[in-house]
Structure 1
């Protein structure tokens, strides 16, 4: 009998926790595979874990996570309804941006998570996850300021999906006007989910 989603994800999470494919594996406290529903319609993909994520082994548990929780709540969702992960599963030193090499080493895990969960909508949060996911599905990335909230429709082996890039919630902490942009993009997301 083929393995169910739960079992496949548990095995994959174990692999991620034991991974040493790039130098970040030596530096982390905890790998951060992701969390949420394995049957989620929507998957959020951030860049990389920060300090608190590294401490707790969970994605988006610091200040940016609080922003994300508020945005989800604003459209009637909670973390239990969605799946949240990052393109890189271990914290880069000093919370620097992940390198191309780190993204290359780690992205197969994200690809497997997408194949197992089979979301209807993927929301890249920030330019690194946006760049990777748009290229993966055959689109040319543009600056996030130009394409946040835009809908890209892609074909996968498990059907059509929507990719909808958004600003990273951390951006709203540094530039408060972006919180309103994020709120509007989440409203668009609510409409899309209601039509699915």
Structure 2
């Protein structure tokens, strides 16, 4: 982690009592902001908290989907704890969501994602990662719209899974939903990502404490 980082959980002190989306305030347990290494080269973005993250307050934890993603991070050497941990020891990785609150009956609306967009933009700006990993179709569409010149409808998370897309200021590596991905798809992502990690990002980014 960055030498000056005090906590992995919501390290930028974003509003933990946000009430910008009244319908979600009524259904969530808590607001789930980003978690991980603020000096990370790799930032993973999902759609919204699942049941587990709503309980733990940490993205991609507490349920099968979260454990599947944490398992992949472990294979990449970015998670130094068990996939089942509620507070994983992430190094050089940051995990977050488009929308920060959960409705158990539906995905977030476009308006709710737009309302949360300043949180995501602030995390990306502060971390300044080398690679953005949109996890799932919805995250890919939003990241593609914001950070590429290609229309979002041209992307497909299944076809673009484990490939590298040149974005505006970032490389984008789409990832299929880790809960639904086959072993072959998971292995393809790990192999592709490991090849990217062979580059020496530390020299170009000048991270403190690395």
Structure 1 and Structure 2 fold alike (TM over 0.5): yes
Give the paired residue count: 181
Partner of 2:44: 44
Alignment of 1:46-85 (within 5 A): 46-61=46-61, 62-78=63-79, 79-81=89-91, 82-85=93-96
Q: Does 1:139 align with 2:150?
A: yes
Paired residues of 1:25 and 1:90 also in contact (CA < 8 A): yes
- Most deviating of 64-73 and 103-112: 64-73
Report the 3-state secondary structure (helix = DSSP H, G, I; strand = E; otherwise coil) of the residue aligned with 1:93: coil
Report the CA distance between 1:72 and its aligned residue: 1.6
Q: Does 1:89 align with 2:88?
A: no
Match of 1:171 among 164, 180, 184: 180
Q: Does 1:123 align with 2:133?
A: yes
- Most deviating of 35-44 and 22-31: 22-31
TM-score, normalisation: structure 2: 0.78
Report the CA distance between 1:181 and its aligned residue: 0.6
Q: Does 1:150 align with 2:150?
A: no
Report the CA distance between 1:11 and its aligned residue: 7.7
Report the CA distance between 1:108 and its aligned residue: 1.6
Report the 3-state secondary structure (helix = DSSP H, G, I; strand = E; otherwise coil) of the residue aligned with 1:64: helix
TM-score, normalisation: structure 1: 0.84
Equivalents in 1 of 2:70, 2:32: separation in Å? 18
Paired residues of 1:48 and 1:92 also in contact (CA < 8 A): no
C-alpha change, 1:12 and 1:21, in structure 2 (3 Å) is farther
- Most deviating of 119-128 and 102-111: 102-111
Match of 1:181 among 185, 188, 201: 185
Paired residues of 1:6 and 1:38 also in contact (CA < 8 A): no
C-alpha change, 1:40 and 1:145, in structure 2 (3 Å) is same
Paired residues of 1:5 and 1:117 also in contact (CA < 8 A): no
Question: Which of structure 1's runs of 4+ aligned residues deviate more than 6 A?
Answer: 4-7
Report the CA distance between 1:153 and its aligned residue: 1.7
